Amino acid sequence: MGRSFVPVFIKRFKTKAQQEEWYRKWDVIEYEDDEDISEYATKFKKIYKRVDSSRKIPKWTIVRKFINSLPLKYTEMLTIIRPNTLEEAIEGALDVKASQKIKGWRKKQSYLLDTIKALKKKVHALQIKATTLAEPVQGIQDEIFGNRGRGRVRGRGKGYRERGNSRGEFT
């Protein structure tokens, strides 16, 4: 009693034209570049269930059809994994996709670390240049203004505190 009504209905009432249309879709099914693996797997299973509602096509043929319709990077990895069922093949493809994302993140992270390192070197070089440029400016400033006010505190003049209280207020 665990069978769904839809496959039984389709099997019983499918027309020759519908069957031909499903076989045509089955023959040309391919993974699209802009398609997500999970979306493609759903589309693949939907067409497969319509084409083989009585489950007469061998599992390995279905698995191979799925694997061979994927891009090369998935095909190579899934061939190594050797899934036995369509579900294992789909899960393997999703794992390959996840590992590709991680690999991409690692490349980005490595690039960012290299960029940060290069920027630190540039900042250090600029700091050295700024210091080198500041020394002559300080010398010119000393020449123009002399050493006025250096080493001594400038106040408000003699007798300021004498005229008021300790806060400088007048009484």
Is 127 inside any structural domain?
A: no
Could you tell me the two tokens for 5?
A: 């009504």
Q: What is the pTM of this model?
A: 0.50
Could you tell me the two tokens for 4?
A: 């769904």
Question: In this predicted structure, what is the pLDDT of residue 1?
Answer: 47
Is 165 inside any structural domain?
A: no
**pLDDT one-digit tens code per residue, 41-100:** 999 898 888 887 777 888 888 899 999 889 888 888 888 888 999 999 999 998 888 887
Is 64 inside any structural domain?
A: yes
User: Which are the contacts of 32, defined by CB distance < 8 A and separation ≥ 6?
Assistant: 40
Per the structure, the complete domain to which residue 66 belongs is given by 5-114
pLDDT of 36 > 80? The answer is yes
**pLDDT one-digit tens code per residue, 100-129:** 777 666 667 777 677 777 788 888 888 887
DSSP bridge partners of 170:
164
What is the tally of structural domains in the chain? 1
3-class secondary structure, 164: strand
Is 103 inside any structural domain?
A: yes
Is 137 inside any structural domain?
A: no
DSSP bridge partners of 164:
170
Inter-CA distances, 73 with 8, 14, 86, 139, Å: 37, 37, 18, 66
Q: Using an 8 Å Cβ cutoff, are 55 and 16 in contact?
A: no
Is 109 inside any structural domain?
A: yes
Give the CA diameter of the chain.
Answer: 116
Is 140 inside any structural domain?
A: no
pLDDT of 148 > 70? The answer is no
Is 157 inside any structural domain?
A: no
Q: Report the C-alpha gap between 78 and 29 in whole angstroms.
A: 18
Could you tell me the two tokens for 106?
A: 């690692």
User: Which are the contacts of 164, defined by CB distance < 8 A and separation ≥ 6?
Assistant: 170, 171
| Residue whose tokens read 């630190």 | 120
Among 65, 52, 71, CA closest to 10: 52
| Residue whose tokens read 């994927």 | 70
Q: Report the C-alpha gap between 6 and 50 in whole angstroms.
A: 10
